[in-house]
Structure 1
Amino acid sequence: MPSTKTEKEKKPVTIEEAVGGSFLPQLNGVIWSAEDPDEGVFVYREPFSGNLVVEDVTHRKKEITGQGEVAKGGGKVTFVKGADVKDENGKQINFHNFKISPDMRFVLFFSDKKQQWRHSTFSKVWLHDVSTHSTQQLGKNITEPTIATAEWSKRSYVSFVENNDLFLIKDVHNVKNQISITNDGNKNIFNAVPDWVYEEEVFSGDTAHWWSPDGNRLVFLRFDEAAVMTYSFPIYNPTEKNGKALLYPDTVDMKYPKPGTPNPKVSVHVYDAVTGLKSSLKAPSKRASAEADGSDAVTIDVAMAQAREEKLVTEVKWLSDSKLIIRETNRVSDVGRHVVYDSNNAKKDASGSAGTIEGKVSRREMTSKTGGWITVDQDIHTLLDSGSGGSTEYVDIVAVPNGYRHIAYYRNAEQAQPIFLTTGEWEVEKIVFVHNRRVYFSAAYPRPAVRHILYVDVPKNGEKVTPEERPKSLTNIHETAWYEVEFDPKGNYYQLTYKGPHLPWVKVFSLRDPKFELVLQENNGLQKIVADYHQPQRLFYNITLSDKTIVSAQDFRPHDFDGSGAIRYPVLIKVYGGPNSQMVDAKWSMADWATYLTCTLGYIVIVLDGRGTGLRGRAYRDVVSWELGAYESHDVVHAAEAIRRLPYVAQSKVGIWGWSFGGYLTAKALERDSGTFDLGMSVAPVARWEFYDTIYTERYMKTPHLNKEGYENSSVHINKGFQNSQFLLAQGSADDNVHFQGSAQLLDQLTGHQIRGFWFRMFPDSAHSIDKRGAYLELYQFMTRFLVYNWGAGGKRLFRYKDTKETIE
């Protein structure tokens, strides 16, 4: 319901409200049940009782609206009573996650979560028998959370990782009867879970083992970090209470490979849960020949043979019950290949308990000629759920000849050349669902700032294929919007989440019944709240530079913006700019610092995406190879110069800020000393690429040995640009991602170059997100004080610092 209040009657947003979550929408949806045979079934935990409830969408709609009919077999039932999930002392277990067995007879409950890195945690894991109400704890250590991950197989076997070793439980009635698949796990050996660099830069998750579709075989990765060097940082106060620093700080020692130093050694293994055979995957012994395969294929095979000890494994996927495909690249990600392994062809050694499986190359790729890199994605989806039997058909996301990433179809595991199902100067972001030979995917279509859900059909044998430039869609592609989707595995219902730019909502729709709609979240309460506040004006557009480069831009303007030129506004440019990233998007943005800066302080905030960012094709993305920071800072500076010429911009009050790569790009923009920016704010920036991790950095920069000049040019150099601009630097001392070492380097350089008057803040024990013990709000208050000190208020405001207890003189 639109607000009846005039702009004069509305309230200004406080900084606490903007960054503290007051305007965050509720996006809670359903967790689809793949295990229940009926369609549209979801499972949820009741917050107070802890009961697990199974319900279907037709029942939920009838319950909420009184409309429609409940499907046959539909309804709502308490699947597990929370009071029945008890430890050995009879105490109810407060679980944070659960996984139901495929036969729905058992549930794994996870409790006592302890965070490790960004994605990884340790938990206590409990196996609950639904019929007997008995609960058993997994693992050897029952007092501490030590289990990193646990998974079900289709046969209701349980695999789990404890202390970096992989275990199997086949008899779920007796969890102590566990099989040790590995027994060499330690602080340097990771079995079936990723080490830090693979967790952060490859899988973006906490698991490195995957069951075959029939649940009989388990493929897992083994990481050997023995040669990886250690980075250490202090923990001054390990508690959540302020002012509890230790007499002698704790120290975190982490294996962190930096450019040019040893990487973890990775190997791939398959365990047969039926026979007990554990096999190692062996690289193909047969190499390509120039006559049969071409010179590029020979180059790739030779490079991969030379890189055997340093190869990266970036994707593992079962294509059938026995065949799997592995994507591997060399260390610097410019040559790679897909290798197919058939676990039915394992050759046993003399003992009969171990074996080897030799692979066969199916696809090869090389980007060294174009100067780009091989992206790290897990995009392969099989057609197993489409009734393909023993077929190894699959789809993937592959760049078409003009460099845009599209849906590619492979008729079998051995096929080398893709059959493209989509094409055009737009990019597919990810495949979200494959069912009945139809591929649903999200795409930056028809322009980069939006996300729409589209689909395309996979051809049957013999059918002629014409790639589609304009695929059919589930969402209205003429709408500026950002959609995300999750399908019920049965293939009829889907949960659609609208994330902006207007107030987000979550709804369930049906593919078969266009009239079916179940509203899960509309955020009506938030709608009433934000209606009482000033909201920024928002605008998407492109800036064309003098060299014809197009930079995407998104403006946030004050609610009372005057574009006539009578009033001149300070402008703060926000950047990230990392390779293949995106900041200019159509998502809901009220819960952002920009809302406070625009509507309360009267600034304009402009977000920019220049060259190197994603979803605009390979040529736009790959140009930054070998020298990060050069093209990115060029585009930002020249776009800012165009912005400064606008009649409503205060030319002496144009600033730039960013976090992580954005903090680095901010510093590189100031380094250019163009006179464009009068201030810059770098949060948790990279200072030298030699300080960052191998897999990310070498993908774009290669090794320091191969690219000494590029590394030197890409470093942040403190020069007159910092003398001529006001500079703010902030970082957490316990940043495991971008180490505080980089900020220390910058501080040392600022001192050495006699740069005076810069602002600096170190947040004790905060990681990359800077959120320890109230640090997140204080960071934004710190940056706000810096802006107000240098610019005062903007627009029509006469600034009075009412939003914090501090006063600006």
Structure 2
Amino acid sequence: MPPSYPDYRHGDSIDSDRTASDATLDDEKRRAPPTRYRDDENAIDSSTEDVAAQTYPPRGGGDSRSGRPGRNGRGTASRDDVDSDDDDDDANDDDAGTGKLRLDEEEEVGLMQLDRDGKSSMARKRRGSLFLGKRRGKGRRGIASGGFLVFVGVLAGFALAIPLLQWLSSSGPYEVDSTAGGSSVHASQGKPPAASGVAKVPASSNDGGGHWGLAHFEHARVNFEVPGWDSVAEAAAGTGLSESEVSSFKTADGKDLMPLDLDIVLGGTLRPQREDLTWSAEDPDVGVFSHVDWTERDIYIEDVTHARKDKLGEGDVAKGGGKVLYVEGKDVLDHNNHKLTWTSYKISPDMKWVMFFSSEQKQWRYSQHANVWLHSVADKKTTAIGGGPSWPPTISYAAWAPLRRQRTDAASQTPGVAYVQGNNLFFIPKPGALPVQITNDGDATIFNAVPDWVYEEEVFSSDSAMWFSPGGSKLVFLRFDETKVPIYEFPVYNPDPFMSGKATPYLETTKMRYPKPGYPNPLVSAHMVDLDEIYDAASRQGGAAIRSTPFVLASPGGSTVGADKAANDVDAALTGPDVADERLVTEVTWLNDDELLVRETDRFSDVMRLVLYQLGKGGKRRRQRGGEGEGNGVDAATRDKAIDVEGRVVRRDDARKDGKGWIRAAQTLEPLSHHDVGLKGSAYLDIVVSPLGYRHLALYGSSSSDEPVFLTAGPWEVDELVHVDARRRRAYFTAARPSPAERHLYSVDLPDWSVPSGLASYSVKEPEPLTDHSRPGYYSANFDPKGAYYVLDYKGPDVPYQKVVGVDNSTWEMTLEDNSLLRQISSQYVRPQSVFYNLTLNGTTLPDGSPVAVSVKELRPHDFDASGRTQYPVLVQVYGGPDSQMVAGKWDRADWHQYLATTHRYIVCTIDARGTGFRGQAYRASVAGNLGDVEARDVNAAARLISSLPYVDAGRMGVWGWSYGGYLSNKVVERNEHLFNLSMSVAPVTNWRFYDSVYTERYMKSTTANAAGYEHAGVHVANGHLNVPILLAHGTADDNVHFQHSAHLIDMLTKARARGWRFRMFTDSAHSMQMRGAYRELYEEMTEWLVSKWGKGARVGDEAGKASLKG
């Protein structure tokens, strides 16, 4: 459920301080820096041992693009909206002295801020009742009698004593007095609750010897540190540039560095550039790629040896290597003979054709519609498919079919095309041929070969649900029937995505099928098309009248003869009339041209079966009769012709046992035969949980094997299998080691799977690191399909870079992008310091008895003072969704938090608590069945420890988050542990019964069996929400976390007569807040709201530790 990131600008705000029950709308309102780092073996587990980090020499620079689109939104925040925290000394102000609740949203994972107590306002209210004003009228100034003063004094005594007694008798300084009419809030006086009972740890120096200010913080264990800078000299040391290079750009006075502002961090100035290189699987040579000159839309084919020689003047060009102008943009013409403005392309397997996409219109997160064109490279002719171009476009997916390996005739070496239009699947046997319509039942609720909303969002993260066999003879696709899924609809207030104010008298609505917990899911079925049948028929009779035989891949039913009880328990959860229609299909993978694996789970992701289908001529098939096929998605016209293919279960898993929590929806199967057509057999790789509870790479020797041979092991996790080289017998993967915040590239040798003894004798070996894991780094890799080269993408924490690396000769390198200009530009601006560490919580353990240690990234001001003489407010950022990660060692200069840390001198602590990923099964499965509980406890416990640091102003701590992070920030506040005095929540979940069923039930299970869990996991307006100012923001067109969530929370706040919360509604914005400048406006709103509460960041000397919430 991570949010996406777009950009728009417009919003309305509701300020709860006007009226709690009737909120008011206000309109518009190659050199590397020295990086300090801990030793590998000391950075993996959650031990509290505090070992000094080491400083290593510089490394080469590089590049990678930020993964956050839409950060170029323009606009300024409107100050017309009335903020309830504005100073108001009116003694009759009913809202004085109450805390405030507000929610905001961000773009990646979670937002979290520190909150303060509303003591100043309460003090003003009390002063209003104790001091007499001037009499108005003609008489002399009145003087109160002694008796009256005594009376007032008694009243004042009661006024002060009652809240004091309440505080003494309660668990903390705030308590709600519930009455029939609502609730009233009483605030204690004195030092801020956040500082109460937390002893400050001694200060230490902000260097390696002092563990960057954490030497005496026994709970913290540093993984690595990324230096900041405050001067030209520090920037030069931090970037590896000379001081003259740093100051060669215009700075404030030619010497000092420039401050960051929102234009810099959100406008793209500090965003890395990235070279677009697309490897060519079609060209028979190694290291061949295509790239585009976008000024002319020319496509070039080039090999890396020529590119290196051309770009760097180094090395020799390989035999047959070079650079070819493959397609000239001027030759690609539309139906009116105008140059086609295409946006993406796919090259055919024979390299004789190019598929172009134009007029792409985004639908949901991954899906879009487009006009699709086929261009002949030789004839330079371009033709639209699907009946020609249209507006709006109607083709939702298109792809080339592989060339048929088992046929040698010329006709078989012409590529076919599959595409989806109107939710029906079509196949063109060859360019220029008539399309064959595979399905006929596609409509608004029936999806063929493309996922519906929930499968796109929560299962496949893709716009496709079709898979060609490697040899091109078959095509498998999924069919999704949403007929029984209830409709969710939301209004469109302004149909113009760019111009504000374009409202219509009667609103349009967007309707979508959105399954929620306890309601019907889409019915999914798997189908196969015999493409050889279509090819042969097309060669005889054309295409329009061809009707292919429909094959239905039936899920095995009932218990298996001879299976044990555990296997039958899994089968029972996936079969039977009550559950069979609710299964989820989460992965489809061809092992070879005849064998297919389908991974299916039950609705609640408790159990999993891997089903093997033999789709060659020897497979088990049965022809359907009468209405038999109706439930399997076969339309009436072809039902009598339909054939069932029976599958066989080859692997099972049950997450209900051994504390596994859930079966994740991920596509992790990788067949070895795909990487060498000469290989026989059906061995494959998968990422599975090891006996010790960590995800590792495993080999299955055949399609029917259920015993994994683990290739990796240890207290760390494999993140992604990036390439398999079957010929070299090697697998490449990235792993979250030596600390969870990093990703390094490794390789491991494969055993000989062709003979049983090869697997039986295999023992796990230490993987070979291909990146320097003695230094902090976050890498990804993209391999040439032939395995000879790969693009290494360094994403941080230093300036990102990209380079091509040779596999057989690791000294062969070619820099694609080093972002040298970004390095110099970045050096002109002050940079905050980042410290990554594990924080062991007091008295909290995992099921195996080991202590819980959360991951923390602490972002500090550029002029940070660790001595304790200066104290800083702390904003805690959270996301916290199951299996997610926010604490990552990536380039983060183009980030709002950098602006807060430098310009406003706030500390920002990002926390990954239990439930998040890459820390092992016991860590992430802690949240199963009860979301929002242990995460909130961990965040509060971590914040309490952080508040004890000598440089932290414990009276100014806040929490913020977006999406799941917005939910978690509310759950943190709900616990009312008096740590936070402000919260911001953007697009939060507030009731899990409102979110989508596939995600929610994976972690929360059944709404009936776990009714208490759902109730507890929802957001409740408790004392914390009444005492903490909260900023809330939501877009009205959010298709992911519906606006209903924030409306639900506001309704509860209104009923509780809560004060101090503020709401910003962003008209027609989706989950990523992009419509008409909303993205920029959101960050301006959050910034100004923070400053209005906390004022300036650092406080020095006597000013440090004072906690007075403004307003």
Provide the rounded CA distance (Å) in 2 between the counterparts of 1:456 and 1:469.
8
Matched, 1:639 2:942: yes
State the partner residue of 2:782. 486
Aligned with 1:300 (options 554, 570, 576): 570
State the partner residue of 2:488. 231
Tell me the SS of whatever aligns to 2:581. Answer: coil
Shift in Å, 1:465: 4.6
Are the aligned partners of 2:872 and 2:1099 in contact in 1 as well (CA < 8 Å)?
no
Aligned with 1:361 (options 638, 641, 649): 649
State the partner residue of 1:163. 422
Matched, 1:96 2:366: no
Matched, 1:327 2:599: yes
State the partner residue of 1:183. 440
Provide the rounded CA distance (Å) in 1 between the counterparts of 2:821 and 2:995.
43
Provide the rounded CA distance (Å) in 2 between the counterparts of 1:170 and 1:388.
26
Shift in Å, 1:16: 2.0
State the partner residue of 1:768. 1071
Letter in 1 for 2:451: P
Shift in Å, 1:247: 2.2
State the partner residue of 1:57. 304
Are the aligned partners of 2:984 and 2:1030 in contact in 1 as well (CA < 8 Å)?
yes
Tell me the SS of whatever aligns to 1:776. Answer: helix
Are the aligned partners of 2:558 and 2:572 in contact in 1 as well (CA < 8 Å)?
no
Q: Which has the larger radius of gyration?
A: 2
Shift in Å, 1:302: 1.4
Aligned with 1:378 (options 657, 667, 673): 667
Provide the rounded CA distance (Å) in 2 between the counterparts of 1:228 and 1:687.
22
Alignment map for 1:452-467 (pairs within 5 Å) = 452-460=744-752, 461=755, 462-463=757-758, 464-467=760-763
Provide the rounded CA distance (Å) in 2 between the counterparts of 1:768 and 1:487.
33
Per-residue CA deviations over 1:338-369 (Å, capped at 9, x if unaligned) read 00001122445588843111000000000112
Shift in Å, 1:715: 0.4
Matched, 1:506 2:795: no
Aligned with 1:683 (options 986, 1008, 1011): 986
Letter in 1 for 2:514: Y
Are the aligned partners of 1:602 and 1:797 in contact in 2 as well (CA < 8 Å)?
no
Are the aligned partners of 1:229 and 1:255 in contact in 2 as well (CA < 8 Å)?
yes
With over 3 angstroms needed to count, the CA separation of the structure-2 counterparts of 1:269 and 1:199, relative to structure 1, is same
Matched, 1:153 2:401: yes
Shift in Å, 1:286: 6.6
Are the aligned partners of 1:3 and 1:532 in contact in 2 as well (CA < 8 Å)?
no
Matched, 1:2 2:252: no
Q: What are the ranges of 5 or more consecutive residues in structure 2 without an aligned counterpart?
A: 1-239, 404-414, 534-547, 626-637, 845-850, 1102-1109
Provide the rounded CA distance (Å) in 1 between the counterparts of 2:421 and 2:517.
30
Aligned with 1:517 (options 799, 804, 813): 813
Tell me the SS of whatever aligns to 1:362. Answer: strand
Shift in Å, 1:398: 0.5
State the partner residue of 2:212. none
Provide the rounded CA distance (Å) in 2 between the counterparts of 1:611 and 1:63.
50
Letter in 1 for 2:720: K
State the partner residue of 2:514. 256
Provide the rounded CA distance (Å) in 1 between the counterparts of 2:911 and 2:467.
39
Per-residue CA deviations over 1:113-157 (Å, capped at 9, x if unaligned) read 000000000000001111111111111363221111111111211
With over 3 angstroms needed to count, the CA separation of the structure-2 counterparts of 1:465 and 1:767, relative to structure 1, is farther
Aligned with 2:693 (options 377, 396, 403): 403
Provide the rounded CA distance (Å) in 2 between the counterparts of 1:724 and 1:794.
22
Aligned with 2:715 (options 402, 410, 425): 425
Letter in 2 for 1:444: A
Shift in Å, 1:328: 0.2
Tell me the SS of whatever aligns to 1:691. Answer: coil
Provide the rounded CA distance (Å) in 2 between the counterparts of 1:254 and 1:634.
36
Per-residue CA deviations over 1:612-655 (Å, capped at 9, x if unaligned) read 00011111111101110000000000000001111111111000
Are the aligned partners of 2:872 and 2:906 in contact in 1 as well (CA < 8 Å)?
yes
Shift in Å, 1:797: 10
Are the aligned partners of 1:563 and 1:648 in contact in 2 as well (CA < 8 Å)?
yes
Provide the rounded CA distance (Å) in 1 between the counterparts of 2:378 and 2:337.
18
State the partner residue of 1:662. 965
Aligned with 2:333 (options 86, 92, 96): 86
Per-residue CA deviations over 1:178-234 (Å, capped at 9, x if unaligned) read 001101000010000000000000000100001000011000000000000000001
Are the aligned partners of 2:598 and 2:612 in contact in 1 as well (CA < 8 Å)?
yes
Provide the rounded CA distance (Å) in 1 between the counterparts of 2:643 and 2:339.
45
Provide the rounded CA distance (Å) in 2 between the counterparts of 1:497 and 1:9.
33
Letter in 1 for 2:401: S
Answer with 605-614 or 351-360: which moved more. 351-360
Tell me the SS of whatever aligns to 1:99. Answer: strand
Shift in Å, 1:20: 2.5
State the partner residue of 2:683. 393
State the partner residue of 2:453. 196
Per-residue CA deviations over 1:81-107 (Å, capped at 9, x if unaligned) read 111111121011111110011000111
State the partner residue of 2:1060. 757
Provide the rounded CA distance (Å) in 2 between the counterparts of 1:301 and 1:796.
63
State the partner residue of 2:836. 540
Shift in Å, 1:237: 1.2
State the partner residue of 1:592. 895
Tell me the SS of whatever aligns to 1:596. Answer: helix
Provide the rounded CA distance (Å) in 2 between the counterparts of 1:441 and 1:17.
35
Are the aligned partners of 2:583 and 2:600 in contact in 1 as well (CA < 8 Å)?
yes
Tell me the SS of whatever aligns to 1:623. Answer: helix
State the partner residue of 2:553. 281
Shift in Å, 1:512: 1.5
Answer with 339-348 or 560-569: which moved more. 339-348
Answer with 435-444 or 385-394: which moved more. 385-394
State the partner residue of 1:706. 1009
Provide the rounded CA distance (Å) in 2 between the counterparts of 1:554 and 1:388.
48
Provide the rounded CA distance (Å) in 2 between the counterparts of 1:286 and 1:756.
57
Letter in 2 for 1:534: V
Matched, 1:105 2:317: no
Are the aligned partners of 1:236 and 1:250 in contact in 2 as well (CA < 8 Å)?
yes
Letter in 2 for 1:2: L
Tell me the SS of whatever aligns to 2:870. Answer: coil
State the partner residue of 1:627. 930
The structure richer in strand per residue is 1
Provide the rounded CA distance (Å) in 2 between the counterparts of 1:237 and 1:167.
36
State the partner residue of 1:311. 583
Per-residue CA deviations over 1:21-60 (Å, capped at 9, x if unaligned) read 2211012231101111111111112111111111111111
Aligned with 2:373 (options 102, 122, 126): 126
Aligned with 1:271 (options 529, 546, 549): 529
Are the aligned partners of 2:528 and 2:551 in contact in 1 as well (CA < 8 Å)?
yes
Provide the rounded CA distance (Å) in 1 between the counterparts of 2:272 and 2:610.
41
Tell me the SS of whatever aligns to 2:604. Answer: coil
Per-residue CA deviations over 1:513-537 (Å, capped at 9, x if unaligned) read 2221111111111111111100010
- Which structure has the higher relative contact order (CA within 8 Å, separation 6+)? 2
With over 3 angstroms needed to count, the CA separation of the structure-2 counterparts of 1:250 and 1:416, relative to structure 1, is same
Provide the rounded CA distance (Å) in 2 between the counterparts of 1:594 and 1:164.
43
Provide the rounded CA distance (Å) in 2 between the counterparts of 1:87 and 1:129.
13
Are the aligned partners of 1:110 and 1:126 in contact in 2 as well (CA < 8 Å)?
yes
State percent identity of aligned pairs. 47
Are the aligned partners of 2:558 and 2:571 in contact in 1 as well (CA < 8 Å)?
no
State the partner residue of 1:804. none
Provide the rounded CA distance (Å) in 2 between the counterparts of 1:797 and 1:132.
75
Tell me the SS of whatever aligns to 1:185. Answer: coil
Aligned with 1:246 (options 488, 496, 504): 504
CA RMSD of aligned residues (A): 1.7
Aligned with 1:528 (options 811, 824, 846): 824
Shift in Å, 1:467: 4.7
